[in-house]
Copies of this chain bind each other. A is one copy, B any other.
Amino acid sequence: MRILHTADWHLGKMFYGDYLTEEQGYVLKEQFLPLLKDEGVEAVVLSGDVYDRSLPPAAAVELFDEIATKVTAELHIPFLVISGNHDSASRLSFGSALLARQGLYIAGDLDKLTGPVILRDEAGPVAFVLLPYAEPADVRHFLDDETIHDHQKALEALCAFQSRGCDGMRAVCVSHVFASGGKSSDSERPLSIGGTDLIDSAAFDRFQYTALGHLHGPQQVGRPEVRYAGSLLKYSFSEATQKKGAVLVDLDGDGKVSSQFIPLTPHHDVRILKGSFQDIMEREDDRTGDYVLARIDDTEPVLDGMARLRKKYPNAMALEAPQRCVSASAGDRDFNIRGTTEEQLFSSFAAAMRPDQPLSEKETGCLHQLWDALRKEEGGGIL
């Protein structure tokens, strides 16, 4: 059976104030769907974080609807989806019992879990064990098992529950977890504080292939058959050098697995530009439409840098100058503004603007008159 493993679509993601829905739509419609057809894919697995948030924008819902409908109703490929920690399990699994009959298997709400999804190839059945992301407390409550207190135990218990009846079958696990040894990026939301979210990948030993989601960099964990597909696009500048795409998995009749990474390429890359501001502005670059972060090594302030950068890179998202001397007077910003009078505030401002020429007596007198007038206007004493 030929399986395409994808993960972490984060539809409706905002990237520095811009929705990425159009870019996501481009990659999914122009590259992902053709790939399914061209490669003769027989099952698609999406390992969680379909949406970027529990209440995704309408355009993101429409996009997922379009893709899911095309995969199942037009290409007739079973599509297996779990909810991730960014998804609302209830919302994602609306209509799941009905949709399953159309080949769209969505596992979200624990209450609606159905056990393994059994698909078939010429060698026999293949069990897909769908493990939606769930808090340990929810699994404890759902399985009525008071011993469940951490992610490891919750995953094992849920896995046992969802694996029932597939002993001896070839089996694929779909899970959204932080597997111990995995490498994280800036755009993953921590599952819990302090590492209690880590899962020992031995939990997946029983499976011929484990299709993981959550970490945005594609990577294997322990053995090549336990794998993160990584996110659909680069969702943070810390992912600038990562490859993005999906994993094409071939599972043979004996349960042997081979896999290859298929890159997906959006219109706009996410890149970090380095060097001096002047270098960056003068350097030749034929991809000025990319989402860029300019990390300049200038030590002096660059005036109006962002606006100038955007003339060359209209999708410039940020400008960082880590080497810039921090002004010695920065500590002055700590003063308590509520404990300072307007006169004091203005005097500081005047001193900062004209450090070599304090206010003259005449200026000070003029200011006093002004303050008095203002105070009267506002009703006596309150400004």
Contacts and interface: CB of A to CB of B under 8 A. Distances in A.
B109 A62 contact: yes
Identify the interface centre among A58, A73, A98: most chain B CB within 10 Å of its CB: A98
Q: Which 4 A-B pairs have the closest CB atoms?
A: A58-B90, A339-B379, A98-B102, A341-B380
A349 interface: no
A104 B98 contact: yes
A375 interface: yes
A33 interface: no
Nearest to A103: B98
Interface in A59-87: 59, 61-62, 64-65, 68-69, 72-73
A352 B62 CA distance: 61
Interface string A8-51: 00000000000000000000000000000000000000000000
B99 A99 contact: yes
A301 interface: no
Contacts of A373: none
Nearest to A96: B65
Interface string A340-354: 111000000000000
A120 B381 CA distance: 81
Contacts of A164: none
Interface in A350-383: 375, 378-383
A233 B79 CA distance: 38
A61 B94 contact: yes
A55 interface: yes
A341 B98 contact: no
Contact of A90 (B62, B72, B380): B62
14 contacts: A65-B97, A73-B98, A94-B95, A95-B99, A95-B104, A98-B99, A99-B99, A99-B102, A339-B378, A339-B379, A341-B379, A341-B380, A341-B381, A382-B383
A287 interface: no
Contacts of A382: 338, 341-342, 382-383
Contacts of A104: 95, 98
Nearest to A377: B339
Identify the interface centre among A90, A104, A342: most chain B CB within 10 Å of its CB: A90
Contacts of A91: 58, 61
Given A65-B93, A68-B95, A98-B99, 8 more contacts: A58-B91, A61-B94, A65-B96, A73-B101, A95-B95, A338-B382, A339-B378, A342-B382
A88 interface: yes
A50 to B, nearest CB: 11
Contact of A378 (B59, B61, B69, B338): B338
Nearest to A341: B380
Contacts of A95: 65, 68-69, 94-95, 99, 104
Given A340-B379, A380-B341, A94 B97 contact: no
Contacts of A109: 62
Nearest to A89: B58
Contacts of A96: 65
